[in-house]
């Protein structure tokens, strides 16, 4: 992509906190941290953080934002 479109902006939306993957919460947080560091060191890269927006007051994913599979967002999500 950079060879053909060197100035294009690329946006990365974080791995979100989903109920179906909550057992992997620490691994997913770490992945987001590593990707954020890569993006900050690059150019024409944007990091869109959705993690906190998917959490409820209890610090766990909001079930009401997901369809039945508990992984993919519904219309509100």
Interval 49-68: pLDDT, tens: 999 999 999 999 999 999 99
Interval 9-44: pLDDT, tens: 999 999 999 999 999 999 999 999 999 999 999 999
H or E, element range at 5: none
**Whats the size of the chain, residue-wise?**
77
Residue (of 45, 48, 54) closest to 16 by Cα position = 54
Query: Would you say 59 and 22 are in contact if contact means Cβ atoms under 8 Å apart?
Result: no
Residue (of 24, 16, 11) closest to 51 by Cα position = 16
The pLDDT value recorded for residue 44 is: 95
Domain boundaries, the chain: 10-65
Query: Would you say 41 and 47 are in contact if contact means Cβ atoms under 8 Å apart?
Result: no
């Amino acid at each position: 992509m950079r060879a053909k479109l060197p100035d294009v902006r690329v946006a990365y939306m974080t791995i979100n906190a989903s109920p179906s993957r909550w057992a992997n919460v620490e691994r997913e947080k770490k992945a987001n941290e590593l990707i954020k560091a890569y993006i900050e060191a690059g150019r024409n890269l944007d990091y869109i953080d959705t993690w906190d927006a998917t959490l409820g007051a209890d610090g766990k994913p909001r079930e009401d934002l997901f369809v039945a599979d508990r992984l993919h967002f519904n219309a509100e999500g």
